[in-house]
A and B are shown apart, each in its own frame.
Chain A
Amino acid sequence: MKKKIDFSRIMTLYLPLFLLLLFALFPYIWTILSSIKPESELFARQIHYLPQSPTFQNYISLFKFTNFSKYLANSIVVALSTVLVAITVSTLAAYSFARFSFPMKNILLLIVLVTTMFPKILLIIPLFKIFAYLKMMNTYTALILAHSTFAIPFSVWMLTGYLEMIPKQLDEAAWIDGCTKTQVLFKIILPIMAPGLAATIVYIFIQSWNDYLYAVMFTSDITVRTLPIGLKMFMGKFEINYGWLTAGGVITSLPIVLFFFLVQKHLVKGLTAGSVKQ
């Protein structure tokens, strides 16, 4: 059976979609392709789009000859700790904002939400001074605290949204059964909003994992420097090692892309609920 080709559907739907997808994915594809090309091909006079002799040499030498694995470990420590700090305090705050009414509630919520709009650039100077004064420069703690400045407000934004989607009657039923308010949070609400919680965790993890500005400002050597700084180091003053850069880029983006796909649906729900309906 032959289907009639719908020409107008191709022109108004499939072609523009294809172009958009190409634009969205091309830098990803190019990073992957470049990472498996030997140096001679990366800098060949004639650009071949597909690698002529694909190799994992860039990946091997990345771990053998650079500090990449240390940057990777630092990033994991910082991102996980940021998640832990931010989620703990934000869950309590979101529970308070979404479930109780009390004087000053709106103004307090407003203060937290407006914080999501504070640019990083505003905080680098005072935080630098404070961390230097407390002798905390170039420590995990400084980086985790700095990342908490954006992670906490965003978590409150999203978690409050998720919490408000859960019917209040559930809480009331649990009260009647004799649960305390704190038990309601841990036994009833948290299990129900687990997907939302996971989405928020992933979102904060990504934000911390990707941060460059605070990392460059508050770290000075390999002991705590994270992946974005490590990648930037492959860009020397006069030449850039694109083999290492792209191989490192693939490894850096792999976990966040996987996490993103896992929670993407709930993440979108939380973001849209938080910004528009709050």
Chain B
Amino acid sequence: MIKNTNRYPYLLLLPIFLILGSIVFYPIGYAIYLSLNNYVLTRPLEIGFSGLSNYIKILTKDALFLRSLLRTGKWVFWTISLELLLGLIAAWLLNREFRGRNIVRSVILLPWVFPSVLTGLVWVWMLDDSHGVMNDILFKLHLIDNFIPWLSQSGTALYSVIIAQVWHGTPFFIIMILAAMQSIPVELYEAAKIDGANRWQEFWHITWPAILPTTLIVTLLRTIWTASYVEHIQIMTGGGPGESTLTLPLYIFRKAYSYLDFGYGASLSMILIIMLSGLVWVYLRLIKGYKQ
């Protein structure tokens, strides 16, 4: 071995850590610092160190924080449950033999690459209260009596955005779960058939245990991403009507973008990241466990 080979792997890593250091790690450190400051861009005279006062205010006085947090829970729960359910069904169907399977397998992933702005805007168009095709279809199926303003009434707005989010996110579940299903040896199913197992028993005793690790990991990943996702909600409702679709990430975005209240916004995002890091920790434990 030549002496400088020891340095080689680190040299390869130098560029990435220089870049990530300046655009990710340093900014996060800076965000922690900002969160300890009173920092409203439009009020330069009041800018200054304020210790934990932002955090104390959030945790003790900010009712909107608590409501947006609970709403985030609801948003994540319904989105992930529906994506998981649909993803499992779709992967199971796509794992069976039929003609044109390869085409269907790739076409069904298309929503995943649709730009999020466009996803939001097209769903706004389809859910429109006077010219929307969804209302027209539901009306013709006699499921509703008159056109419903899905996005502009507080009872339906959140669920409408959830549908768009599920449309966009389900393919990720399908990709991952289907790949796990494909790695199950065919012999297991053949043996089960000989033993007279029906399709449900096959799924429960062979498929499910085999895909469980992947399913758990994907569910966690999507939960982390969905909990901090802003774009569809921002485009479709902007948090409204009222505050009926205001989740925590959206609240942070509003503080940062509309109010330029960077100190408070940074504190809110620190709280979000602390909660998410619990999930990240579980994710890493799972991966480590399955690797061994």
A residues adjacent to B (C-beta < 8 A): 13-14, 16-17, 20-21, 23-28, 30-31, 34, 42-44, 47, 49, 85, 88-90, 92-93, 95-96, 99-100, 102, 105, 108, 110, 112, 114-115, 117-130, 145-146, 148-149, 152-153, 156, 181, 206, 209-210, 212-213, 216-217, 227-229, 231-232, 234-235, 240, 242, 245-246, 249, 252-253, 256-257, 260-261, 264, 268, 271-272, 275-278
CB <8 Å contact, B276 and A235: no
A-B contact count (CB 8 A): 252
Minimum C-beta distance from B174 to chain A (A)? 9
CB <8 Å contact, A47 and B133: yes
Minimum C-beta distance from B13 to chain A (A)? 5
* Measured CA separation A215–B266 after assembly (Å): 19
* Measured CA separation A249–B126 after assembly (Å): 14
CB <8 Å contact, B253 and A240: no
Is B292 on the interface with A (CB-CB < 8 A)? no
Collect the chain B residues with CB atoms within 8 Å of residue A217's CB. Answer: 256-257
CB <8 Å contact, B19 and A272: no
Given known A34-B125, A42-B131, A123-B28, contact A212–B5 (CB-CB < 8 A) = no
Q: Is the contact region of chain B dominated by helix, strand, or loop, or is it mixed? A: helix
Given known A25-B110, A275-B217, contact A47–B284 (CB-CB < 8 A) = no
Minimum C-beta distance from A222 to chain B (A)? 17
Could you pull out 22 A-B pairs where Cβ atoms are within 8 angstroms? A13-B93, A16-B89, A20-B108, A21-B108, A24-B171, A42-B131, A93-B16, A119-B225, A121-B269, A126-B266, A148-B23, A212-B115, A216-B257, A217-B256, A228-B118, A252-B118, A253-B113, A264-B109, A272-B175, A272-B176, A276-B290, A277-B291
Taking a contact as CB atoms closer than 8 A, the residue among A16, A30, A115, A271 that contacts B20 in the complex is A115
Chain B, Cβ-Cβ closest to A119: B228
Chain A, Cβ-Cβ closest to B35: A125
CB <8 Å contact, B175 and A100: no
Collect the chain B residues with CB atoms within 8 Å of residue A242's CB. Answer: 125
Collect the chain B residues with CB atoms within 8 Å of residue A249's CB. Answer: 115, 118, 121-122
Collect the chain B residues with CB atoms within 8 Å of residue A268's CB. Answer: 175, 179
Collect the chain B residues with CB atoms within 8 Å of residue A88's CB. Answer: 15
Minimum C-beta distance from B282 to chain A (A)? 12
CB <8 Å contact, B16 and A125: no
Chain B, Cβ-Cβ closest to A209: B115
Is B241 on the interface with A (CB-CB < 8 A)? no
Taking a contact as CB atoms closer than 8 A, the residue among B34, B217, B229 that contacts A126 in the complex is B34
Instruction: Report the interface size for chain B: residues with CB under 8 A from the other chain.
Output: 88
Chain A, Cβ-Cβ closest to B213: A276
CB <8 Å contact, A93 and B111: no
Is B196 on the interface with A (CB-CB < 8 A)? no
Chain A, Cβ-Cβ closest to B31: A126
CB <8 Å contact, A130 and B176: no
Taking a contact as CB atoms closer than 8 A, the residue among B107, B110, B122, B179 that contacts A272 in the complex is B179
Q: Which of B13, B180, B225, B230 has the most CB of A within 10 A?
A: B13
Minimum C-beta distance from A237 to chain B (A)? 11
CB <8 Å contact, A124 and B96: no
Given known A92-B16, A119-B228, contact A149–B176 (CB-CB < 8 A) = no
Chain B, Cβ-Cβ closest to A93: B16
CB <8 Å contact, B20 and A152: yes
Chain A, Cβ-Cβ closest to B279: A117
Is B209 on the interface with A (CB-CB < 8 A)? no
Taking a contact as CB atoms closer than 8 A, the residue among A100, A126, A212, A275 that contacts B28 in the complex is A126
Is B116 on the interface with A (CB-CB < 8 A)? yes
Q: Which of B27, B104, B235 has the most CB of A within 10 A?
A: B27
